[in-house]
Amino acid sequence: MIKLLEIKPGLISIITALGASVCCLLPFALIFLGLSSGAFMMTTTKLRPILYPLGILGVVGGWYLYYRERKKCEELGCQMARGTLNLALLIFATLILLTATSVDFLASSMAEDLSHSPHSI
């Protein structure tokens, strides 16, 4: 059975990356599935200044905890508990955060281009 303390770096990074993606990926997914409207997206985008820094701090903190534990195990000559699971969770969390940031950047640049368009209403 997996102990939660053994995968602490991975859990921290996944939770914070999912939290940071709430403003971008979650609304897109819900709208795509027909479960939500654009109003939900407009509400969650207001949380970007809070969620992105928390997500970045969480993922960076997860990587820090992972490498700290790995270094400690190398010095003691022990095997790191759940090392591959932690690494997989950290990579997944990093990809979630990068995807959310990319989607947000593309959406905001498209909205800015439309607002400067001579044909905009």
Instruction: Encode pLDDT of 74-105 as tens digits.
Output: 888 877 767 788 888 889 888 888 887 787 77
Nearest-5° Cα angle at 60, 55 to 66: 130
On the question of pLDDT at 13 being above 70, the answer is: yes
Q: Where are the domains of the chain?
A: 7-103
DSSP state of 80: P
Q: What is the pLDDT of residue 27?
A: 67
Instruction: Encode pLDDT of 29-84 as tens digits.
Output: 766 767 666 666 667 777 777 878 888 888 898 899 888 888 888 888 877 767 78
More confident residue, 114 or 7: 7
Specify burial of residue 44 (Cβ count, 10 A radius: 0-12, 13-18, 19+).
middle
